[in-house]
Amino acid sequence: MDFPNILLILDKTIRLSVGVDKTNEFLVEFMRRSVDSGYITKTHANVYLKIYGCKIRETCWGCEENQPNQLAHIDPGGCLYEE
């Protein structure tokens, strides 16, 4: 699947009619579902989304608990986790 071209087409088509914020929400949800379906990894999805100024975010328990150490943020779902 050619995600950069798909995102570009979606971006140009939707952005004019619903605006930047709604378009970014749609693009993130589209990529989240693509990740959940196994078409692409979250890391790669975020690379494509970065040019639009957005990314797929997960709830990081380290951030929720205000943990100062990096180890609290590197588990799967953490803000510093890398696949």
Q: To the nearest whole number, what is the mean pLDDT of the chain?
A: 83
Domain boundaries, given as residue ranges, for the chain: 3-57
* Nearest to 13, CA basis, from 28, 23, 1: 23
Q: For residue 71, what is the DSSP state? A: G
CA distance 63 to 73: 7
Task: Kindly report the pTM of this predicted structure.
Answer: 0.62
Place of tokens 């995102």: 7
Instruction: Over range 28-55, report the average pLDDT.
Output: 86
How many of the other CB atoms lie within 10 Å of CB of 31? 25
